[in-house]
Structure formats: structure tokens, C-alpha cells
Structure 1
Amino acid sequence: MAKKPHTQDSEKQKSKGLMKVLSGIEKYGNKLPDPFMLFVYLSVFVILLSWFISSLGVSVVHPQTEEDVAIKSLVSGEGLQYMLSSLLSNFTGFAPLGLVLAMMIGIGLAEKVGLLEAAIKRTILKAPPALVTYAVIFVGIMGNLASDAAFVIIPPLAALVFYTVGRHPLAGLAAGFAGVGAGFTANIIITGTDALLSGISTEAARDFGIIVTPVDNWYFMIVSSFMLLFVGAFITNKIIEPKLGKYEGKVNKKLEEPSPLEGKGIRNAVISGAIYIIILLVGLTWPGSALRNEDGGIIPSPFLSGIVPITLFFFIVMGVAYGVTVKKITSTRDVPKYMAEAIKDMSGYIVLIFAASQFIAYFNWSNLGIWVAVSGADFLESVNMTGLIAIIGFVFFTALLNLLIFSGSAQWALQAPVFIPMFAVLGYNPAFVQAAYRIADSSTNIITPMNPYILVVLAYMKEYDPKAGLGTLIALMLPYSIAFLGCWIILLLIFAIGGIPFGPGVGVYR
């Protein structure tokens, strides 16, 4: 009994220390410019740096062509002509732009007619009590189909489900937030995130003639989804819920189950999706199928290269089936209307890409990218750090940087032009480097004060515990973040060392 006050003092000191670190992250993170302006400043920096390095007569031997490549100055007649003539093509030709907008036409339609939200509710509410934790986390992981909307839908619904079955609502909220935030990049199907990141990776790997497709991390992300499911459920049941104890409060909240019409809409959407998949499988297995390659294989094949439009039409079919059933779509005019609304939500992303595409283009045209890549690879070789330990170091660096830059696309657009070529020089496949980035970026989403949805989740938390603060939320989420990152690194190493493909025909080395 005498040690109890000491234990309480230690916990208070740890809590104060944690809040001090978080306050520091928030303070310095808020000093960073908006991602759009960050890329504008970086573009100016690249322009000036190219002039300075070029004036020193620096050159580098290209690892692919073995030609001597000189740094080109953007502060020159040639550089000025390039910047003016390529401004539009840098933007419109930026690989992720078309891929992501196309995906959002389909996924956005399904979201706007209410299919994704209804499916999320149905899955969680219909889960047996013993499987509620697993249902919440699984739906959270799959929720990145609805993009950022999942942050608003799933955590409060999960808290209410836990409360209804007599469990601590904050444990449900934590599980839902962990699935959505820390599991944001994982999924068992191809999503807009796959299209976005692979497009940026392709731009960064252009000097090496490597194309990263949306399916290049598919196998790894499927396995990741189930790994996170079981790890997240273990953390919730064995650590978070026992720590919270029995919930004694009362709230005036009720579960709103999907209406019979919405249930019918979900059924029709599933049937339509199943018919689409069956037709696709028949077309894929049909003798002499145009979806397979000349040898009759699938790796590579038109099927894999066309995975984005295939996925796009899958969501359109399901979205239309649901929308027609629930009377959200009553005429053909409604379909493009909802698609347009989905694209409107992407306006911020489009503006960001305009600035990011210029930065990447300038970085590559000036040959600073290949210079940094070769110099960085030479440094790693000089300190004998060329194995998987270098990739693990990159993972930790990315996880820490994510505490300051929440936007996954902005952070990858910033890191990819540097790290993709550098690791490519060392022989690593850009798709493998991209997978390493994804696990790091995703794991710390739930503990960074830069996450705008943390305050939203905190507001939901206060409905059940008015005394809860940011420190309470971070303390609940920290075990998930650490466990997810640690287990994800182990999984990455298992795939790498075991020679397991990360996607169709994609290994560790290029």
C-alpha cells in the first residue's frame, strides 16, 4: 500500500512527459506551411539549389546508362524555357492525378448514395457480441474506401455498439479509430490509396524506367489487413478494455440500424457486385482471353494493368444498384451528379498535386534527383548500411516525420523523389520501398496532433467521459500505434526474407 502514491506520482510524471512531447510536436507542426505552400517553397529551393550545384560543375554517373550526367540549372535560359513550357504537362501528366480521380468517380458514387455508410453500419451492428471487436477493427481497416469520411463514421458508431452490449464505449471508440487511422493504408481490395501512391512512386522512379502499379503492394496489404485485425483485437481486449475498467456512466444514445430499404439496397448491391465478379472471372478464364498475356498468364497482363478501370466499374455497378434501390438514383442524371460531388471533395487534392508535380518535375529535370540518389547510396555503402536495416531506418524516419506531416500523399510526394531513386541505386524495387513507407505513415496517424480528426474523435470521447482530454486519447491509441508498427515491420521482414511477393511479380529487388 505504501508504494501506491509513488506509482501514482510516476504515472502523473509519465503523463506530463507525454503531453509535453505532444505539445512540442503540435507547436512545431503548426509552424509548417500548408502542404501546397510547402511544395511551392520546395520548388523555389530546388531552383536555387540547381543553380548553386550546377555552378560548381558537379556531375554524377547514371547507374542505369553509365553516362556522366551534369546538374542542370533552372536559373538559366534552358531552365526558364523548361519551367514555362512544362507547367501544364507536369500537372496533367502527373501519374497519380488521373488514377485517383478515376477511382474516386466509382468509390465516390458508392459513398454519395450512402452504400459505404450503410454497409459499415450493417457489418458492425450484425456482428455477434463475441466478434464485435473484430468487426469494428475490420470495418475500420476497410473504411479507407470511404477516405476521410471513415474517421467521422466509424469511431462513434463503434463506441455506441460497445456501450449497447455492455462494454466500455471508449474501448470501442479506440478500436474504431485504430482501424481507420493506423490501418488506413491496408485493405483487401484495390483502393484510391493504391492508385495515388503508386502514381507518385512511378514519377519518382522515371529515371530507372520502372512503373509501379496499383496492385504492386496488393498481396502484402491483404495479409496486413488480417494481421492488423488480430493485433488490434488483442490490444483492445487485453490492454485497452482492462485498463478502462467497467463503464459506470449513462448516455442517452440509441443505435440506428439501416432501414429495411437500405438493407434491400445492400443486398442488391452485393448481388450486382457478385455478378460483375463472375463475369470478370469468366472473361479472365475464357480460352484465349484478351485479359491475359500472350502466354496465357496473368503476371503481367492487361487484367493487372487495367485494374483501376476494372475496380472503377465494380464500384459504379454496386453504387448504381444501391442508389436505384433506395431511390437516391431516380434518373440517369443522378449518376453523374453524385460523381461530380465526389470529385468536388477532391478539389484540395487537385490543388496540392499542381504544386507537388512541379516540385518533382524540377527535381528530376535538374538531375538533382539522380545526384542525391547516387550520393545517398554511396554514403549508405560507405557505412555498410545497404541491407534491410537501411529500409527499417527509413521506416522509423517516416513514422517520425508523419507526426509533423499528416497528409500521406503530401508526405510521399516529398519523400519519394529522394528515397525511391536512392534505394533503386542499391537495387531495391520501388514498390517494396513504397510498402515500407505505407506501414510507417499509417501506424502513427492516430497519435499525431497534426491529424485533424483527432479533435473530432476527442469530441466523441467527451460524450462518454467529459473529463477526457487529448492526453487520454493519445494514451489509449499509443499501444495500437506501437504494436501495429512493430508487427508490420516483422511482417515486412517475413515477406522480404521469405521471398514472398508483395504484389503480382513484385519482390524486394528490381
Structure 2
Amino acid sequence: MADKGNEPVKPEKQQEHNSSLFDRFLNGIERAGNKLPDPAMLFFLLMVFVWILSAVLAPIDFGETHPLTGNELSVNNLLTGEGMANFLANMVETFVLFAPLGIVLVAMLGVGVAEHSGWISAGLKKLLSFTPKSFLTPMLILIAIVSHTAADAGYVLVIPLGGVIFYAAGRHPLAGIAAAFAGVSGGFSANFIPSAIDPLIMSFTLEAARILDPEIVLNPLNNIYFTGASSIVIVLVGWFITDKIVEPRLSDVKVDGDEDEIPEMETVTKRESRAFWLGFGAMLLGIIGLLLWALPEGSALRDPEWNNPEVSSLFSFHAPLMQAIVPLIFILLLIPGVVYGYASGKYKSSKDMINNMSKSMESMGYYIVMAFFCALFIDAFAKSNIGLLIALKGANFLQSLALPGQVTIVGIVFLSAFVNILVGSASAKWALIAPIFVPMLMQLGISPDLTQAAYRVGDSVSNIITPLLPYFPLVVVFCQRYVKKTGIGTVISMMLPYSIIFLIVWTAFLLLYWWIGIPLSFESNYVYPAP
């Protein structure tokens, strides 16, 4: 009888045996995640689960009140006749008004022209001609971070470009998508350029602080120094994770996507180079025209009701400029794409441009199907109040522990990261838990500015591992362009190192930043009351 101890080990088992414990953990996450149903079907099953759970929890009195309205917070039963009738009556509206759907489709029309005409490809080839391969990762993450200024544009523009850039450089395209996703979403609160989210988040912090101090005033950019410094941390840490952890794990993953879906990166001819610069110049003229329109005090792009002299009314959340970011991206990518198409000879008539738009929409078919079920699930989850109840219970538990200030700040970071997996909207989540966290820490002598900074760290790091992120299905679609078998498990296992390491390093950086005493922003404080 053969000696079982000398039996040869299968190659895949040998590889698993030789890999690190962390690699085996990530491989297990990937296998388990990819055994889940198709993402569209998963969202449908989760919706049904929320229905059933809402019926089970609805009769229970949890003893919670909504911190904004003061009304009793209970779970709404969605499995009633009235609930099902509302579900059917509002199904179309829920899908059509699903915010990421319009953003993605409108932006992708412009992206489609810029990409399929060849303008983006020509620009990337020029970029690769002078950028060392080893510096592509930090450059990509930095661009992803800057994209926060343009609302959610990074999801539909920077993330797919990450795959294109890495693939053209001979690196694994999924690593490029992961790095871009980490910068756009995992480092969501790391930016040195003000954006609409800054005054929006601050407005909820201010309202919560006035529960305890009705006269308090906060700077709308009360975390801008910290978020700017954080962008350096995210770039450096994301660079290390991509090159040392994520990309080595992808070395054995074969790129098997359809050739039509993978952008070609051939040598730039003289005519194409001239066409690129003409397109680039046309885009610059468009940006200059936009600035000339926006800068005057009476511009229609400003928020007419904005009266804070410290922040331009152009960056108010309700400013028409901020509301028009996605259409502007569409126009500013359409213009160079069209100019390049005609100048390079790719376009003979307007029909070629329309064909490029149609081709871009064809690749979005699977995303639209997933978005339909995702929209219905997120709507059901919100209407049931289950996510809000979990957030409140967690906040009240943290408050009951009465921990020291530094430990409480860490607790807020971790709790925010956990709740973020269940409740996606940064502003909606903060509107709910700020009235608990902010006054609580003010009584401990911690300023609202510091409490908000802790929340923003936690709110960012878990974006990239939750399928409840509205753009998560889109990232899966981008990955499937290169690796057909990509599933939810693949993306989660790929992004988990970023999420874990960002959580630990960014939290430690906040504590160090606080300990050194570097200002969070101009006119911001660490202590309450302010000295």
C-alpha cells in the first residue's frame, strides 16, 4: 500500500500551502464571495431578506427616538398589503431616480466618445512615454483623490482608466482598477481641494453642536488641513498595498476579457499626436470659458443664497456649478473626443460619434440590470429603518462606555466604518449619528471639528468592501472587461487589504496629528470650548 505521506501535492495545494496566512485568508474571502449568486440576483435576495426581517422586527419596541425628529424610531413592516402596493407603484420611479444610474450613463456618453475616438488612448500613451512604470501607482491614486472634487466622477472616469493605464504598461489591469478604487472611494475624505461634501458634512456637525451650544460657529472647511495631509498618507499607503500585496496576488490571474472590451494601446502617429493636442486645446478652451462664466460675483453658477465669506458660493452644495458637475464632465470629454475624431480621420460624419456613444452604452447593459435590483434593495433597506436602528444602537452603546477621549475617537472611527457597510450615504449617516456623537464629545472637551474628522476617516475606509455601495456593481463590470470570472468575492478580497490597512494607519495618523497639535483647518479647534 502506498505511503500517503509521500503522495505528491497538487500544484494549487502547494501554492496555497506556501502562501502567507493573510493570502490564504483573502483567497478564502474570494472563494466564498464568488460562490454567492450573481450580483443582480444577490441584491434581489437581500431585498427579500429585508422584507422578511422588517416583518419580524416591526412589533418590537427598541426604545429609540430619531435624534432629528424626536419621534419614536421603529422598524417599518414592508410585508404588508400597503407596503407591497407602494413597492409596485414606486418601482419604476425608484429605479429611474437611483442617483448613480443617471450619473453613470450621462458621464459614460462623454467617456464613450473620448475613449472610442482614441483621444483617451492617445493621451495615455503620451503619459506612459514619460512616466516610469514604478510611479504609475502613486500618480493614479493621486488623480483618484483629486477626482473627489468633481463629485462621483471618479467612479465612472478614473477607475476604468486605472485598468487601461496598468494594462498598457504591462501590469495587471485589475491592480490598476483596485488602486483607483482605493483612491476614489477608500480615500474619499482625503483631498486637498475643497469640494461640495465639505460644507455639506459641516452643516450637520454645526446643527448637532448647537444642541449643546446654540451660539457656536464652525468653519465650512473645518477639516481641510487634515484631509489634505491625509491625501499624502493615502497615496503612500495605497502605493505600498498595490505594489506589494494586491498586484502580486493577481500574478496568476489570466486576462481573458473580450478584445473588443479592452482598449488598444498602439503607437501614436504624428497625425494622432497633432489630433490629441488639438482635442486637449479644445478642452482647455472649454474650461477657460467655464471659468469666465463662473468667476464673476453675479454668475448664474453661484449659489444666490450663500452668505458665508470664507467659502466661495461656487462650492456650496446647492450651487448650480456643483449640481452640474456630471453634465460638465460629459461636455468637457465630448469636445476633445469629437475634435480628435475628425482631426485624426477616425470620424467621417456625426454618425461615427453617435456610434461611439452607442458602443459605450452597450457595455453598460449588465450594470443597468444590477442597478435595477440594487436600487430596489437600497430603497427597501432605507424604508425599513433597520440600518438607522443599527447606527443608533451602536452610537448609544459607545456613549454608555464613557471611555477616555482618545479611545472614544477611535471608537467613532471604527463604528462609522461598520455602519458605513450598511448605510452608504455619508451625509445621511452623519445626519443621524452627529446629534449623538458631537454633543457627547463636546461634554468631554472634544471639539466638533475633531469629532467630524474621526467620522470622515471611518466613513471612507469601508466604502470599498461593501456591495451596498451604489457604484460597487460598476467596479465589478469594469473588472469583467479584463477577467470574465470576476465576481463580488474577487473585488472584496482585492480591496480588503486597502480597507484594513487604511483603517489602522489613517486612525493612527489622526491620533498622531492630534497629539502633535497640527491645526485641522483655519479657525478649527481640538478642544471645546475653544481657547
Choose 44-53 or 377-386, whichever is displaced more: 377-386
Question: Which residue of the partner structure matches residue 98 of structure 2?
Answer: 94
Distance 1:488 1:88 in 2: 41
Gaps of 5+ in 1: 1-10, 160-169, 189-194, 209-214, 244-254, 400-410, 460-473, 506-510
Are 2:376 and 1:367 equivalent residues in the alignment? no
Look up the SS of the partner of 1:288 in the other structure. Answer: coil
Please tell me the residue identity of whatever aligns with 1:103. Answer: A
Structure 1 pair 359/136, CA: closer, same or farther in 2 (3 Å)?
closer
* Residue of structure 1 aligned with 2:313, choices 288, 292, 297: 297
Question: Which residue of the partner structure matches residue 23 of structure 1?
Answer: 27
Please tell me the residue identity of whatever aligns with 2:413. Answer: I
Question: Which residue of the partner structure matches residue 258 of structure 1?
Answer: 268
Distance 1:443 1:55 in 2: 32
Question: Which residue of the partner structure matches residue 81 of structure 2?
Answer: 77
Structure 1 pair 307/154, CA: closer, same or farther in 2 (3 Å)?
closer
Distance 1:345 1:419 in 2: 33
CA contact (8 A) 1:104 1:343 kept: yes
CA contact (8 A) 2:394 2:415 kept: no
Distance 2:346 2:433 in 1: 49
Question: Which residue of the partner structure matches residue 282 of structure 2?
Answer: 272
Question: Which residue of the partner structure matches residue 37 of structure 1?
Answer: 41
Q: CA deviation at 1:278?
A: 0.9
Distance 1:444 1:47 in 2: 20
1:150-161 paired onto structure 2 within 5 Å: 150=161, 152-159=163-170
Q: Deviations over 1:339-376 (max 9, x none)?
A: 22222222222212211221222223233343333223
Q: CA deviation at 1:306?
A: 2.0
Q: CA deviation at 1:423?
A: 3.7
Q: Deviations over 1:225-252 (max 9, x none)?
A: 6655556678899x89xx9xxxxxxxxx
Please tell me the residue identity of whatever aligns with 1:390. Answer: G
CA contact (8 A) 2:286 2:332 kept: yes
Look up the SS of the partner of 2:114 in the other structure. Answer: helix
CA contact (8 A) 1:74 1:366 kept: yes
Distance 2:75 2:498 in 1: 45
Q: CA deviation at 1:298?
A: 2.2
Distance 1:140 1:76 in 2: 47
CA contact (8 A) 1:443 1:485 kept: no
Distance 2:329 2:346 in 1: 22
Distance 1:370 1:396 in 2: 14
Q: CA deviation at 1:33?
A: 2.3
Q: CA deviation at 1:490?
A: 5.9
Q: Deviations over 1:129-188 (max 9, x none)?
A: xx55335642576486656644553224324xxxxxxxxxx7x99986774464454899
Distance 1:186 1:221 in 2: 13
Please tell me the residue identity of whatever aligns with 1:78. Answer: E
Say what the alpha-carbon RMSD is for the aligned residues. Answer: 5.1
Look up the SS of the partner of 2:359 in the other structure. Answer: helix
CA contact (8 A) 1:187 1:222 kept: no
CA contact (8 A) 1:62 1:69 kept: yes
Look up the SS of the partner of 1:280 in the other structure. Answer: helix
Are 2:360 and 1:350 equivalent residues in the alignment? no
Distance 1:287 1:101 in 2: 33
Please tell me the residue identity of whatever aligns with 1:32. Answer: L
Look up the SS of the partner of 2:314 in the other structure. Answer: coil
Q: TM-score, normalised by structure 2?
A: 0.62
Q: CA deviation at 1:29?
A: 1.7
CA contact (8 A) 1:391 1:436 kept: yes
Please tell me the residue identity of whatever aligns with 2:27. Answer: S
CA contact (8 A) 1:272 1:321 kept: yes
Distance 1:173 1:36 in 2: 24
Distance 1:59 1:136 in 2: 49
Please tell me the residue identity of whatever aligns with 2:125. Answer: K
Structure 1 pair 440/56, CA: closer, same or farther in 2 (3 Å)?
closer
Are 2:108 and 1:104 equivalent residues in the alignment? yes
Please tell me the residue identity of whatever aligns with 1:264. Answer: R
1:374-413 paired onto structure 2 within 5 Å: 374-384=392-402, 387-394=408-415
Please tell me the residue identity of whatever aligns with 1:95. Answer: A
Look up the SS of the partner of 2:369 in the other structure. Answer: helix
Look up the SS of the partner of 1:333 in the other structure. Answer: helix
Q: CA deviation at 1:125?
A: 0.8
Structure 1 pair 483/364, CA: closer, same or farther in 2 (3 Å)?
closer
Q: CA deviation at 1:94?
A: 1.8
Distance 2:222 2:377 in 1: 25
Structure 1 pair 265/218, CA: closer, same or farther in 2 (3 Å)?
farther
Please tell me the residue identity of whatever aligns with 2:102. Answer: G
Distance 1:16 1:135 in 2: 27
Distance 1:17 1:139 in 2: 29
Q: CA deviation at 1:488?
A: 5.0
1:192-341 paired onto structure 2 within 5 Å: 256-294=266-304, 297-300=313-316, 301-341=319-359
Q: CA deviation at 1:109?
A: 2.1
